[in-house]
Amino acid sequence: MMSRVVLFLFGLLSLLAGSQIHAAPVAEIVARQTGNLQCNLDRLSIVSSVKNLQDTLSQIASSDSSTADAVAAVQSDVSDAQGGIATIAQALVAGQAAPASARDVVKQGLVSAGTDLAAVTSSDAATTKLITKAGTLLTKAGQAGEGVVSNCK
């Protein structure tokens, strides 16, 4: 009888020790995926900034037809960045690490958008104001992206 109790306790201890070995990586993954407050604020900021940027670009395109082609190039770049963000979000929801290639897609999309946005000009004051707003939103998205990289470990 005593040997069964000892075997049972030994088995229980082995099971608990084994679960402790596997618990650390799971806890680390959960912490990384959920992120701290600043990480989540940065994530929210990049998503909202990029969405607002797309909305502003649509306003520019509809208000000044002379900028349509140049704005279309910026919209394409921003769509590329949004695709990278979506890939990262899917990985996080699946409990996986965000792929570095998706971060590169976001970065390249935003950098290209900046280059293309610099070429968008208009003689219309209202359109110029929207172009400036788009530049501000793009800068904010870039800063939030840098925050995600540094704060979401």
Task: Quick: pLDDT tens for 42-70.
Answer: 999 999 999 999 999 999 999 888 999 99
112 vs 134: CA distance, rounded Å: 14
CA distances to 66, 71, 116 from 119, in Å: 12, 9, 5
End-to-end CA distance of the chain: 51
Q: For residues 6-30, give the mean pLDDT.
A: 43
Which amino acid appears at position 143 of this protein? Q
CB distance 68 to 61 below 8 Å: yes
Identify the pLDDT of residue 54. Answer: 97
Instruction: Note the pLDDT of residue 93.
Output: 87
Res 33: pLDDT: 55
pTM over 0.85: no
Query: What tens digit of pLDDT does each residue of 69-85 get?
Result: 999 999 999 999 999 99
Q: At 85, which amino acid appears?
A: I
Run of H or E residues at 58: helix 37-63
pLDDT tens digits, residue range 83-123?
A: 999 999 999 888 888 888 999 999 999 999 999 999 999 99
DSSP 87-133: HHHHHHHTT-PPPHHHHHHHHHHHHHHHHHHHT---S-HHHHHHHHH
- Please state which of the ranges 33-37, 63-67, 95-99, 143-147 shows the lowest mean pLDDT: 33-37
Look at residue 97 in the predicted model and tell me its pLDDT.
83
Instruction: Check residue 34 and give its pLDDT.
Output: 62
